[in-house]
Amino acid sequence: MPLPFVFKTVICPIHRAGWPFVAIFVVATAGLWWLATPLGWIGVLLTLWCIYFFRDPERVSPTRGGLMISPADGTVHVIDEAVPPPELKMGDQPRPRVAIFMNALNVHVNRIPCAGKISTISYRPGKFLNASLDKASVDNERNSVRLVLENGQDIAFVQIAGLIARRILCDIKVGQTVQTGERFGMIRFGSRVEVFLPTGVNPLVAVGQTSIAGETVLADLKSQEPTRHGETR
């Protein structure tokens, strides 16, 4: 296997939000090593896990107009219809929703689903229930974004904190023009991201499918293909 490929796929850059945590783990590991060598090895393993958690690999995003791309790594947990968060003022009409559950081993850097302009960003404090629970969408801490697409349609994507996720990071601003697959934030230590599609657009993923942020196509605004179903094989 060529060495450059190994560096790109195994040895990944670390998101800037992770460096303070890596530093804390390194200092703690040094202290544990001073106390007892076995504890030091535990610290080394935890430090390596911290580096792994904050990895930020490059992704190849499809750029054809109309494609909606996954904003998160993880498992497609829910596909249904739901009303977007009320703070985004997108009306009370249910829209197709795709919810992606991110466990503690997934890449947690989030990416823009589709090119457009940020219309609204709204942060709402809340609980820290298990992100795999349906009520987490309503009760948990969340950061909601409304994005106006280049064709005038709008979508929403929501970062939802989980059981041990205590910090939502969002680096975009209202009025900012963004591109498909562009990084916009992350959620620390297990979480959920939801995408609300335009009315009448069918998701092209299935429940249980693994999604890759910036690469997996969630929907195609130009397609009339019905919602897909999947089987475990």
What residues act catalytically? 191
Which residues are bridge partners to 177 per DSSP? 117
Question: 121 and 145 in contact (C-beta within 8 Å)?
Answer: yes
Name every residue whose Cβ is closer than 8 Å to that of residue 132 and which is 6 or more positions away in sequence: 77, 101, 192
Q: Please tell me the distance from the alpha carbon of residue 187 to that of residue 9, in angstroms, as a whole number.
A: 22
Q: Sheet containing 142-149: give its strands across.
A: 177-178, 116-124, 142-149, 154-161, 191-196, 95-102, 74-82, 210-211
Task: Give the closest residue to 112 by CA, choosing from 72, 75, 152, 151.
Answer: 72
User: Bridge-partner residues for 78, per DSSP?
Assistant: 99
Task: Give CA separation, 117 vs 31, 150, 199, in Å.
Answer: 48, 8, 19
The residues, ordered by sequence, that sit 6+ positions from 26 with a Cβ below 8 Å of its Cβ are: 47
Cβ partners under 8 Å of residue 71, min gap 6: 100, 110, 111, 112, 113, 157, 184, 193, 195, 213
